[in-house]
A and B are shown apart, each in its own frame.
Chain A
Amino acid sequence: MRELDNMTVKSDKKAGCDPRDDSFDLKKTTLRVFRTNTAQGKDSHFDSLVVPVQRWTTVLDSLLYAKSYLDSSIGIRYSCRMASCGSCGMKINGIPRLACYTKISELEDPVVVCEPLPNFPVIRDLVTDFTQFFNHHKSINPYIQNLNYDKTEKIDEVSSSHSHRQSREEVDKYLQFSYCIKCGLCYSACPTVATDTKFPGPQALAQLYRYYADSRDAGKNRLNIVDDRHGLWRCHFAGSCSKVCPKGVDPALGIQLLRSYMLGISKDKRNV
């Protein structure tokens, strides 16, 4: 037990980590926070707030510090603080990122500019309206469609007679796309969404591929949903959606794979 205590103390005394250490590295940085209130019709502006930062301080930490001690009126949406819920998406130093997943030390900039996500209507300050985004998501029927599951059978019978085992290869087809947390970063980075509000966006299209490539899914009309003037074909393959995704999903790849299915280059080998 004493050894464990010594180890803890030893690891705490690494340079710049122990708050009791004289060399403890407490810096300050300037947050430039976008402020607006559409309901009150006030002009938008930036507020500069100086906050203390440590090596592990995230942008969300510093915003919450500012909200607690400097200006309680800052509007910000957040929840899990661990890049799982996708609530704290915002444009940080010009790039859409999750505030809880972005360390200030990694930005290597004395000033951190926080703005609401582009391509979303702003409600207040850093809080944006996700209604249209989720409508696009809902429009692609983001669930497994299989008539076998729709039969009014007892749960036990369903599980015994209609189990769908998947091979490793079948899972690999869609696995990365199932990591999407619907944070909207890809949607905000998409240049097509910026001009075409009817375009479903990379998130919805990648999720369409996720369900289309799932061997348990029997939804035959999925591709028809996005086969219109503002659908799948309006992607210009800028690739910015894949670049900003905090979960490593590659929506641009999903869109290209969907196109290959539609053009008949890839064959539908789903075993339903």
Chain B
Amino acid sequence: MNGISKLALKESQIMKIHYITGILALFVVAVHILMRLVVPYSSSLEYAHVIANYHNIFYAILLESILVLISIHGFNGVRVILLELRQSKIWENSVTITTIIAMIVLVSYGTRTIILANGLGL
């Protein structure tokens, strides 16, 4: 348990990550939305076009960065909201551990999808 607490980040460090991921997410999501407008919106969502996006390695990296940035920012936001609901050490640690695990699961599953769709996994 001491080892875990040594690894624990200070709240100011967590919030720095929160703000940085928020700002970066704004940028990458803006690029993602702009890419929808390169072609007519409806055709940009067609199966072939979406798969073509995944096969583009730069676009796949962009999608992965959106996934990671939004997950870190979003799950920390959920953690902050939940921390205010109750004030006890057990609750705080449970919320922190649960949000970290949920984030890792979501990022892993999303990364798997990106890798499969990109064709790297085949």
CB < 8 Å neighbour of A230 from B10, B15, B19, B87:
B87
Q: How far is the CB of B109 from chain A (nearest CB, A)?
A: 28
Instruction: Tell me the nearest residue of chain A to B18, going by C-beta.
Output: A233
User: Is B11 a contact partner of A192 (Cβ separation < 8 A)?
Assistant: no
User: Is A227 a contact partner of B11 (Cβ separation < 8 A)?
Assistant: yes
Q: How far is the CB of B97 from chain A (nearest CB, A)?
A: 13
Q: Which residues of B contact A270 (CB under 8 A)?
A: none
* A219 CB within 8 Å of chain B: no
Instruction: Tell me the nearest residue of chain B to A195, going by C-beta.
Output: B84
Q: Which residues of A contact B49 (CB under 8 A)?
A: none
Q: Which residues of B contact A198 (CB under 8 A)?
A: 87
* A262 CB within 8 Å of chain B: yes
CB < 8 Å neighbour of A229 from B16, B19, B92:
B92
Q: How far is the CB of A234 from chain B (nearest CB, A)?
A: 7
User: Is A263 a contact partner of B12 (Cβ separation < 8 A)?
Assistant: yes
How far is it, in angstroms, between the C-alpha of A164 and the C-alpha of B46 when the chains are bound?
71
Mark contacts of A194-237 with chain B using CB atoms, 8 A cut-off: 1 yes-contact digit, 0 otherwise.
01111000000000000000000000000100011111111000
User: Is A227 a contact partner of B10 (Cβ separation < 8 A)?
Assistant: yes
How far is it, in angstroms, between the C-alpha of A198 and the C-alpha of B80 when the chains are bound?
14
Report how many residues on chain B are interfacial, defined by Cβ distance under 8 Å.
13
Instruction: Tell me the nearest residue of chain A to B85, going by C-beta.
Output: A195
8 A Cβ contacts from A22-55 to B: none
User: Is B87 a contact partner of A227 (Cβ separation < 8 A)?
Assistant: no
8 A Cβ contacts from B63-122 to A: 80, 83-85, 87, 92
How far is it, in angstroms, between the C-alpha of A192 and the C-alpha of B10 when the chains are bound?
20
Mark contacts of A165-201 with chain B using CB atoms, 8 A cut-off: 1 yes-contact digit, 0 otherwise.
0000000000000000000000000001001111000
User: Is A231 a contact partner of B11 (Cβ separation < 8 A)?
Assistant: yes
Q: Which residues of A contact B85 (CB under 8 A)?
A: 195
8 A Cβ contacts from A252-272 to B: 262-263
User: Is B83 a contact partner of A229 (Cβ separation < 8 A)?
Assistant: yes
Q: Which residues of B contact A228 (CB under 8 A)?
A: 10-11
How far is it, in angstroms, between the C-alpha of A86 and the C-alpha of B92 when the chains are bound?
35
How far is it, in angstroms, between the C-alpha of A192 and the C-alpha of B92 when the chains are bound?
16
Instruction: Tell me the nearest residue of chain B to A226, going by C-beta.
Output: B11
Interface core residue of B11, B15, B80 (most chain A CB under 10 Å): B11
Q: Which residues of A contact B16 (CB under 8 A)?
A: 263
Interface core residue of A223, A230, A233 (most chain B CB under 10 Å): A233
Q: How far is the CB of A264 from chain B (nearest CB, A)?
A: 8
How far is it, in angstroms, between the C-alpha of A117 and the C-alpha of B15 when the chains are bound?
31
How far is it, in angstroms, between the C-alpha of A228 and the C-alpha of B14 when the chains are bound?
10
How far is it, in angstroms, between the C-alpha of A230 and the C-alpha of B10 when the chains are bound?
12
8 A Cβ contacts from B1-46 to A: 10-12, 14-16, 19
Q: How far is the CB of B82 from chain A (nearest CB, A)?
A: 11
User: Is B87 a contact partner of A233 (Cβ separation < 8 A)?
Assistant: no
How far is it, in angstroms, between the C-alpha of A229 and the C-alpha of B88 when the chains are bound?
11
Task: Give 29 A-B contacts (CB < 8 Å), ordered by A residue.
Answer: A192-B84, A195-B84, A195-B85, A196-B84, A196-B87, A197-B87, A198-B87, A223-B12, A227-B10, A227-B11, A227-B12, A228-B10, A228-B11, A229-B11, A229-B83, A229-B92, A230-B83, A230-B87, A232-B11, A232-B12, A233-B12, A233-B14, A233-B15, A234-B80, A234-B83, A234-B84, A262-B12, A263-B16, A263-B19
Query: B residues within 8 Å of A by Cβ?
Result: 10-12, 14-16, 19, 80, 83-85, 87, 92
Beyond the given A233-B80, A234-B83, please list 11 additional residue pairs across the A-B interface where CB-CB is below 8 A.
A192-B84, A195-B85, A196-B87, A227-B10, A229-B11, A232-B11, A233-B11, A233-B15, A234-B80, A263-B15, A263-B19
